[in-house]
Structure 1
Amino acid sequence: MLRFWRATINSWRGLKFAARSEQAIREELVALVIAIPAAWLIGVTPARRVELIAVVAMVLMVELLNTAIEKLSDRLTTEHDLQIGRVKDMGSAAVGVALAIAGAFWLFALVERMGLI
């Protein structure tokens, strides 16, 4: 139980640091807070509501991983490095894919709510 508690504390500290240092993390936290009530309005089933919240949480998760990659890369060298730039670009691409998936889920849910499918 102590290990679980320590892991929870470390996770909370990581989230707080990321939120303080990264605008994208703050924006996605706001999106998650907005998504919770919005999912209840848009989702037609309990499962759909959970899916809508989960995909926004997924975007936050991918952004946290991308931020970790960027912070670690910046610790390795402050000079421009082509390979590190590519790694950062791949992390950014992962965030873009997560955003596209989330957008598709929300669009589908809106169309479903309007009764078009």
Structure 2
Amino acid sequence: MRRLIRSFGFAFKGLAYAAESQPNFRIHLVMSLVAIALGFALHISTAEWQWVMLCITLVLVTELLNTAIETLTDLVSPTYNVKAGHVKDVSAGAVVVAAVFAFITGMIIFIPKLILLF
């Protein structure tokens, strides 16, 4: 049981590191809060909540993996290396793909509801 509790401590330490050191992670957290607030304000359905939460999770997880990959790449290749640059670019690209998916999903869910308000 002690090991399990310690492992959660390490996980939260990793989240704190990402939040403190990664501006993009903080942006994604803020946008997650905006999406959640919009969801409550616009009374989205359960199915829509599932899509919103999937998008939030997907973006945050890819950003965390990107941070881990970039940190590891910097560790194993402290000087400039073309292949290390490709690794970092590809992992950042994964975040962009997730963020674009989340943005489009958000527009599909929220724009019709916002149009009805006006």
| Length-normalised TM-score, structure 1 | 0.86
> What SS does the corresponding residue of 2:79 show, helix, strand or coil?
coil
**1:38-57 equivalences in 2 (<5 Å):** 38-42=38-42, 44-57=44-57
Find out whether 1:81 has 2:81 as its counterpart. Answer: yes
> How far 1:47 sits from its partner (Å)?
2.0
Consecutive unaligned residues of structure 1, counting only runs of 5 or more, are: none
Deviations 1:70-110 (A, max 9, x none): 01111112211111111111101100100111011101102
Please give the alpha-carbon distance, in whole angstroms, between the structure 2 residues aligned to 1:21 and 1:43: 34
Please give the alpha-carbon distance, in whole angstroms, between the structure 1 residues aligned to 2:42 and 2:4: 35
| Length-normalised TM-score, structure 2 | 0.86
Identity, % of aligned positions: 30
Amino acid at match of 2:41: L
Please give the alpha-carbon distance, in whole angstroms, between the structure 2 residues aligned to 1:58 and 1:25: 12
- Tell me the number of residue pairs that the alignment of Structure 1 and Structure 2 aligns: 115
Consecutive unaligned residues of structure 2, counting only runs of 5 or more, are: none
Please give the alpha-carbon distance, in whole angstroms, between the structure 2 residues aligned to 1:9 and 1:36: 26
Q: What corresponds to 1:95 in structure 2? A: 95
Deviations 1:42-83 (A, max 9, x none): 463122123213302211110010011001111112211111
> What SS does the corresponding residue of 1:67 show, helix, strand or coil?
helix
Amino acid at match of 2:6: R
Find out whether 1:109 has 2:95 as its counterpart. Answer: no
